Chain A
C-alpha cells in the first residue's frame, strides 16, 4: 500500500519562509506538492475528492496559522506534519458521520498534532460564526463591511461606490451595519 508519490515537493525551509513572506508562489508549491498524499489517504479511507480538498485546505490553514503564529519549529518533516493534521481532521469527520474509523490505511508516519487541530477547530468556529453573521447581515451592509474591513477600501471609495451624498452618511451607514454585525456575531 505504498505508492510512491512523485510530484515535486518544495523544501520545508522554502515553505516556511514563503509563508512568512506571504508568497503566493510558495503556497502554490506547497499546495500542489502535498495534495496527492492527502488525496491518497482520503480516497483510501472512505472519502472522495471533495472531502480530500476540504480536509487538505483545513490542514494547510492549520500549518499556515502555526507558521504565522511564529511557534512553528521544524522538529519534524513538514510532510509528516501535514499528513498528521489532515489525518486527525479526517478521522474526526469520519466519527462525526459515525463511520467506522478502525482499519485506517496509513501511508506516512504520524505525529501528535491534537493540540494544533483543537486550536484550529476553535478558530474554525469563529470563522463559521463570522460567515453566518455576515450572511444574516444582508446587503448592502455585508458589502460595505467587507469593502471596509476586508478589502481595505477608504470611506471615500465606499461613498462613491454606493452613491452616498457624503462620507458622513457612509460612515453612519457603516456604523449601523457594524453594530448589527457585532450583535449577530457575539450573539450566536
Chain B
C-alpha cells in the first residue's frame, strides 16, 4: 500500500517532469523492466490528460458563462427571432417600400376625395317654384325627370292645387319666360302683374333641356307693354358679380340681392350659375340681373341643405332656347332691346322700371 502510494507519487512527478536526471533514468529503467509499472505510467498519463482536458473545458465554460451573462440575450433574440408568418417577414424586408406605397395611396385617396368633395355637391336641390303640395327633394340633374314623373304619377282626380312662380317679359306683346317646372303639367296658367291684374296665359313652348318655358298672355284685356327696359346679356359673368332678382315668393314682388358664387351649378352643371342669393319657393323663373340691369339668368333651383346656394340658368341658354323655337311659333321674332335703358340707374330706379315686366305665375293643376 505504502509502496503503491509512493510509486504513484513518482509516476506523477515523472509525468510532470519533476524528477532529477538520476531519478528519471532510474525510473525509466524500472519502467522498461517492469511491464506493470509501464502500464501504470501509461494509464496514469491518459487519466491525467483527461483530467487536464476536463479542467480546461470546465474553466473555459466558466469563462464563457461569465461572458454570456454580459449579453442581453432577450433583446437579441427578439431581434433575431424568426417571424411567425411570411407576411411579417415581407413587412420587415420591405418596410420602406410599403411605407412609401401606403403614403402614396393615402395621398391619392385624400386628393381624389377632396376633389370629389369640391366638385360634387351633396344635398338636394329644391326647385323654387311656390308649391303647396309637391315635395321638392329632387336633384338638379333630375329636375326634368322628376317633374315629368310627378306629373305622370299625379292622379287625375286630385283636386287642383295652387302653384306659384315668377316670370318675366320677353317681348312687349305678352311673351313671358319662366321655368318649365313652374308650369309643367298645368291645367291653366294665369299671370298677375305688379298692379294686381290677372291675365290668362298659355304655354306656347317648353324646353325641357334647360327647364325653360315660354308663355303667351292670351287675355283680351291685356295691353301691350312699353319697350323692355332690360336686355339679355350674352357673355358670361364672373364670380363675385353682384346680382339681384325680383320674384313672387309671396303675393307681392320681393327683391333679393346676392352674388355669383360659382360659374357652375348643381354638380358642376355648366348651364347654370351658383348664386348666393336668398330665394324661396315662388322665386323660380325670376330674372337674375346684374348691377347694370342686364338679364344674366333665370332663377331655377336652390340646394336644400346648403345655405345660399341658388342655381340660375345662364342667359346664354335662354338665348339658345329662344333660338331653338321656330320664329313663327312665337309669331314674331323675340328680340331684346339692343339698348339697355337701365344702365347707370340706381337700384331702386331699376326696380321701379323692371317690376312692370315681372309677373307672378299662378298655376292650376
Contacts and interface: CB of A to CB of B under 8 A. Distances in A.
Partners in one complex: yes
Given A28-B67, A31-B64, A105 B51 contact: no
A12 B8 CA distance: 43
A30 to B, nearest CB: 8
Interface in B292-337: none
Given A39-B76, A57-B61, A27 B67 contact: yes
Give the bracket for the number of chain B residues in contact with chain A: 20 to 34
A182 B50 CA distance: 11
A57 B64 contact: yes
A4 to B, nearest CB: 11
A61 interface: yes
B352 interface: no
Contact of B5 (A36, A44, A127, A175): A175
Interface in B37-74: 43, 47-48, 50-55, 57-58, 60-61, 63-64, 66-68, 70-71, 73-74
B80 A130 contact: no
Decide if the interface of chain B is mainly helix, strand, loop or mixed.
helix
8 contacts: A35-B76, A43-B77, A43-B80, A43-B82, A52-B77, A53-B68, A57-B61, A171-B9
Interface of A: 1, 3, 24, 27-28, 31-32, 35-36, 39-40, 43-44, 49, 52-53, 57, 60-61, 64, 105, 123, 126-127, 129-131, 145, 149-150, 171-172, 175, 178, 182, 185-186
A53 B47 CA distance: 29
A185 B264 CA distance: 102
Interface in B103-122: none
Interface of B: 1, 4-5, 8-9, 43, 47-48, 50-55, 57-58, 60-61, 63-64, 66-68, 70-71, 73-74, 76-77, 79-82, 89
B81 A127 contact: no
B25 to A, nearest CB: 25
B67 A32 contact: yes
B47 A35 contact: no
B331 to A, nearest CB: 89
A123 B51 CA distance: 11
A31 to B, nearest CB: 4
B43 A186 contact: yes
A186 B5 CA distance: 19
B60 A36 contact: no
Given A44-B80, A130-B51, 5 more contacts: A28-B70, A43-B77, A57-B61, A150-B51, A178-B8
- Looking at B5, B54, B67, the one whose CB has the most chain A CB atoms below 10 A away is B54
The 8 closest A-B pairs by CB, nearest first: A31-B67, A40-B80, A150-B55, A130-B54, A44-B82, A175-B5, A28-B67, A57-B64
Contacts of B57: 61, 123, 127
A186 to B, nearest CB: 7
A62 B355 CA distance: 110
Contacts of B51: 130, 145, 149-150
Given A31-B64, A57-B64, A175-B5, A126 B82 contact: no
A140 B20 CA distance: 33
A35 B54 contact: no
B54 A131 contact: yes
B80 A175 contact: no
A36 B54 CA distance: 27
B53 A126 contact: yes
Nearest to B78: A43
B5 A3 contact: no
Contact of A175 (B4, B47, B50, B81): B4
A132 B266 CA distance: 94
Contact of A149 (B55, B63, B68): B55
Nearest to B89: A1
B53 A39 contact: no
Contacts of A64: 60
Nearest to B51: A149
Contacts of B63: 24, 27-28
